[in-house]
Amino acid sequence: MSKKIEQQTELQTLPVLALRGLVLFPGMILQFDAGRKKSILALHEAMEKDQTILLVAQKDLEDNNPDSEQIFQTGVVAKIKQILHHTEDGVRLLAEGMHRARIHQVISESPFLMVEASALQTTPYRSSHKTEALIRYTQNLFERYLQNYKRISPDIVIGVVKNKSCGALADYIASNVMLDFEQKQEILEELHPVKRLEKLIQILEHEIKVLEIENEITDKARDQMNQNQRDYFLREQIKVINYELGEDDNPQEEAEELREKILKLDIPDKQREKLLKECDRFAKMPFGSHEASVVRNYLETCIELPWNVSSKEVIDLAKAQKVLDKDHYGLKKVKERILETLAVRKLAPDINGQIVCLVGPPGVGKTSIARSIAKAIGRKYVRVSLGGVHDESDIMGHRRTYIGSMPGRIMAAVKQAGTNNPLILLDEIDKLGKSFRGDPAAALLEVLDAEQNSAFYDHYIDMPFDLSKVLFLTTANDASTIPGPLLDRMDTIFLSSYTHEEKFQIAVKHLIPKQLKKHGISSQNLRITPAAVHDLIESYTREAGVRSLERNIAAICRKIAKKIVAEEVTKITVKPADLEDLLGPRRFKPENKNKSDEVGLVNGLAWTSVGGQTMPIEVAIMDGTGKLQLTGSLGNVMKESAQTAISCIRSKATQLGIDVQFYNKMDIHIHVPEGAIPKDGPSAGIAMATAITSALSKIPIRHDVAMTGEITLRGRVLAIGGLKEKSMAAYRNGIQTVIIPEDNYSDISEFDDVVKENIQFIPVKKIDEVLGLALTRKPQPVLAPKAASAPIPAQGDPMGTQPPQPVVLEQPQC
């Protein structure tokens, strides 16, 4: 008969650490994390004394703060061997069980559990045949356990075989097998070694039965999965066998469906014959092969093309005029040109091939005009962006022999539209690239040629497709960068920069309502006064279009939306004085304010792909040896124009009151500000000549005069290009008088009315006329000795051997 004997000599005062789901046995080492405040404090208490602590399992795993009633009364006194490291949630420690102990009295519950406990001694037993049989049976049970639960270390197996003590064997096995903590606690509380081993035997027998059932279920599930895999392979083999026997119906059924769709298509006989032939090939291919999927995709793409599906085109000039006026303010000549094109289409609907190219700076509405035209005539609208396209296959498609082949952008746009007469906008046609893959601009020649596109041949479709019914519109910022043969196929319509009044009307009628709706603000909550709109245009934007203006309006709406959400305001009126608080300091100052007539400073005019702009030119004269210095990132043409201007002035030095020996006595420095921006072109010739004359004669130049024109050695003024954009730049900057070549006088008829009303254009033939208009007073001729004429060296190069500079594209043209 066993009997639990408590320590009778003395009681030991120990801190208690409650274990959640763990049970430690004597002689065993346990590593665990402690994170609860009570546990940490108990550990500190143990470490400050003799590093011994009572480890007791708690009854309820969900209890985060167990008291003395929520823990078992029997535990193990352990020695804290090591605190490994601190974790985010507490500490990780290593403890070794020393002996069993029972709690006799609770000393304190807070801040941690402190108890008096006594060591428990086990009843000694006598070895016999029974105990030896129990040990062997337990070892055999453990072996059966290993057969069903293989995640046991070999070291543990060796420890079980070597252990010949009933109590020690029970403790060792219980601590190393996966048992419930309550079962382990039951074994811990049994002090008689033989009974402890008998309890372990009962628990192991139960666990072995459960594991055997689990393994049986797992084996059945694995067998079922293997059977499904086997069935899958057998089905695939059946498919192959059926195909070899000619009994595979699936590809034939799919091919028959495609055949029916092909026969229903209204396409030419040659195209139908080719598609039916591909359909027959598809029917004979193995099911699921890569080539079969390629042929299937090809047939489906060809079937989805709108071979003879057309949308009804209704050309109503009154409706078109109404749509264009509603969507765009101003642009009278552009709208008139578009209506003329529509009128011709209505009178001669069978004549195709008129391809319109809209050329103008960014933000003037080229893309939106194309959308409005499609809406006005009832055609489908598709936009194809060509910016950066450098592969010919993007236009003509890829051949089907390539992996991942697809139709080109033109056929993809036609397929997207669903009709064979959409309006396709080829956007940014001047941004086409060119590489070793081919020239996409050359590929577009067939697309945009009315004589060829009736049988357009896409490499992927591999059949002619009629594009003659498609209305092509293209857009570009700079027509000069479009290849000549391609530009020759298009009818060009130029869109000029917007005037201040046009920007104001566009902002009031279109941009402000659009941004208010986009930002969820009603017109009652936010009102921008007309004066604020004028100030916004004048002080925060300096552009040809209205994109920057729209961005600034959007910025105002965002600022106001934040205030409305923060309940700072409910209604607000934006005035000119409020703009700096909303948008920051004004970026642009009016050019005609705080400006006076200066010596050697002239207002030139330049053309860029984003619109015209003023280009001040400065000349400084210094004592020297006749060096010429040109700065401002000037191109070769502009440098030659400067040398021509100096030679022209030298030939007229006497009548201009200039020292005829100035080219030997003085250094001339010509500078065009904004040196980071490349500049080139001949049209700054008269401006440079005027600035040089002013600097040499010390006569100021009128600040309200701008000029453009090419100069010759004899002082003739030659025609230039881009005058319309240059005049718009002069208008934006408050210039009152613009001097132009006489040969460009006829271009004035194309200018906007507001430009003609506010600027006086004066045509000239000779540089003498330019100087008489630009200088504040007339130069006085002086008598000077004749000087030998010698060429002026370029930029300090006395021999004139300066190497040519590379031509820079996308730069202002003077």
Per residue in 526-546, pLDDT (tens digit) is: 899 989 998 898 888 877 788
Q: Which of 447, 475, 494 is the last residue of a domain?
A: 494
Least trusted range by pLDDT, from 2-16, 344-358, 649-663, 751-765? 2-16
Residues 368-378: pLDDT tens digits?
888 888 888 88
Pairing of strands 456-457, 601-608: unpaired
Looking at the predicted structure, is the pLDDT value of residue 796 above 60?
no
- Between CA 383 and CA 724 the distance in angstroms is 29
| Residue 330 and residue 408 share a domain | yes
Question: Percent of the chain having pLDDT more than 70?
Answer: 90
Question: Which residues are catalytic, by number?
Answer: 683, 726
Whether 177 is covered by a domain: the verdict is: no
**Average pLDDT estimate for 564-591:** 83
**Average pLDDT estimate for 90-113:** 88
**pLDDT confidence band for 792 (50 / 70 / 90):** very low
- We report the CATH number of the domain holding residue 679 as 3.30.230.10
Cα atoms found within 13 Å of the Cα of residue 612, Cβ hemisphere only: 26
Least trusted range by pLDDT, from 168-182, 280-294, 709-723? 280-294
Residues 345-367: pLDDT tens digits?
888 777 766 788 888 888 888 88
| Residue 504 and residue 490 share a domain | no
Residue for token pair 């337990």: 138
Question: Percent of the chain having pLDDT more than 90?
Answer: 10
pLDDT at 808: 36
pLDDT at 761: 92
| Residue 427 and residue 345 share a domain | yes
What b-and-e string marks burial along 741-751, b requiring 16 or more CB atoms within 10 Å of the CB?
A: bbebeebbeeb
DSSP assigned state of 88: S
- Between CA 221 and CA 237 the distance in angstroms is 24
**Average pLDDT estimate for 726-751:** 86
**pLDDT confidence band for 274 (50 / 70 / 90):** confident
Q: How many domains does the chain have?
A: 5
| Residue 446 and residue 341 share a domain | yes
Looking at the predicted structure, is the pLDDT value of residue 467 above 80?
yes
pLDDT at 294: 85
Looking at the predicted structure, is the pLDDT value of residue 741 above 90?
yes
Residue in 573, 578, 528 with CA at minimum distance from that of residue 550:
528
Whether 595 is covered by a domain: the verdict is: no
- Between CA 163 and CA 168 the distance in angstroms is 7
Question: What is this structure's pTM?
Answer: 0.57
pLDDT at 593: 44
pLDDT at 787: 44
Helices (H), 541-668: 547-565, 579-583, 636-651, 662-665
| Residue 611 and residue 468 share a domain | no
CA distances from residue 62 to 19, 20, 59, 415 in whole angstroms, order as listed = 12, 9, 9, 64
- How open is the CA angle 381-382-384, to the nearest 5 degrees? 150
The boundaries of the domain holding residue 112 are 5-121
Whether 739 is covered by a domain: the verdict is: yes
457's CB contacts (< 8 A; 6+ apart) are: 396, 446, 463, 464, 465
The neighbour count for residue 56, using CB atoms within 10 Å, is 28
DSSP assigned state of 20: S
pLDDT at 247: 54
**Average pLDDT estimate for 188-193:** 87
**Average pLDDT estimate for 732-758:** 86
**Average pLDDT estimate for 742-752:** 85
pLDDT at 807: 33
Whether 794 is covered by a domain: the verdict is: no
569 within 8 A of 524, measured Cβ to Cβ: no
**pLDDT confidence band for 690 (50 / 70 / 90):** very high
| Residue 622 and residue 768 share a domain | yes
**pLDDT confidence band for 707 (50 / 70 / 90):** very high
| Residue 256 and residue 111 share a domain | no
**Average pLDDT estimate for 32-44:** 86
712 within 8 A of 767, measured Cβ to Cβ: no
Rounded to whole angstroms, the maximal C-alpha distance in the chain is 147
- Between CA 41 and CA 18 the distance in angstroms is 12
Mean pLDDT of all residues belonging to the chain: 82
Looking at the predicted structure, is the pLDDT value of residue 519 above 70?
yes
| Residue 393 and residue 352 share a domain | yes
pLDDT at 800: 35
Least trusted range by pLDDT, from 260-269, 563-572, 789-798? 789-798
| Residue 511 and residue 375 share a domain | no
Long-range (24+ apart) CB contacts under 8 A made by 340-344 are: 341/491, 342/315, 342/317, 342/373, 342/376, 342/377, 343/315, 343/317
- Helix (H) / strand (E) containing 346: helix 332-347
| Residue 728 and residue 651 share a domain | yes
- Between CA 802 and CA 629 the distance in angstroms is 12
Q: Which of 469, 494, 519 is the last residue of a domain?
A: 494
pLDDT at 352: 66
pLDDT at 717: 92
